[in-house]
Amino acid sequence: MKKIILTALLLVIVLGGGVIYYVLNSLDTLVKQQVELHAGNALQTKVGVGNVTIKLLDGFAEISGFQVANPEGFSQNDALKFSAVRLDIDTKDLSKMPVVIEEITINSLATLFELNAAGQSNYNELLKNVKSASSSEPAPEPTPSESETASDVRISLKKLTIKDTAMAIDLTALGDKNYEETLPTLQVENIGGAQGVPPAKLGVEVANAVLKILTKEARRKQEDKLKDKAIEKLKEKAGDKLQGLMDKLGS
């Protein structure tokens, strides 16, 4: 009898270990698929992820090769491309709500700000898509067990940092040209607040934060270019008048 019980326990341990091993080794793939699915639905455009690395015990996760295609009505170029997105999670007490993400760092961002012939930007279109998707998404009806677990999960992000951003500004649809700009390090703090928000809502708020801060920088750069062009035109006019005056004096 003891031998049978011992054998059964060993089988449970071996099988349980196999399941745990499978889940841990499948986690990166599962997260990759979920990011592509939910981010694509929220942004209403194609989203691709190259690779996901998760180290639960270290409180570390990284998404590399993250690409967001331009929305409908704009060029076939990507709107956003991240070399790597890193998450640093506070693992001191994951049972305590909210779960705190110390920092999300986006490294080597290549982004395109594009205006179409109507003067609309791809960033604003993506922002509208996110807002539309979040407002139209039906609230799920949790089961009794879920209502005490999944629905209670809240996440708070202390800091979002965007580093080494190369921004292309495409104004060709308005008769202007392309510009290339390098942005300073950008930061947004306290996303989700002290109480935290559900995981899906945090994703929406992070997307909003990234697009809004990039829109602000793009508009500032666009205004600078328009001012520079206006100054150049004034100089040209002043030069023409001066040349005309010199011609009169010479005659």
In a domain, 115, yes or no: yes
In a domain, 245, yes or no: no
In a domain, 116, yes or no: yes
Tens of pLDDT, residues 134-170:
776 555 455 444 444 445 788 899 999 999 999 999 9
Burial class (CB in 10 A: 0-12, 13-18, 19+), 83: middle
In a domain, 247, yes or no: no
- Look up the domain containing 9 and give its range: 2-136+145-240
In a domain, 248, yes or no: no
In a domain, 149, yes or no: yes
Q: Cα(172)–Cα(178) distance, rounded to whole angstroms?
A: 6
Total number of domains constituting the chain: 1
Tens of pLDDT, residues 59-115:
889 999 999 999 999 999 999 999 899 999 888 777 788 889 999 999 999 999 999
In a domain, 31, yes or no: yes
In a domain, 159, yes or no: yes
How far does Cα 118 stand from its chain's mean position?
25
Q: Cα(5)–Cα(37) distance, rounded to whole angstroms?
A: 45
Tens of pLDDT, residues 174-220:
888 899 999 999 999 999 999 998 887 888 899 999 999 999 999 99
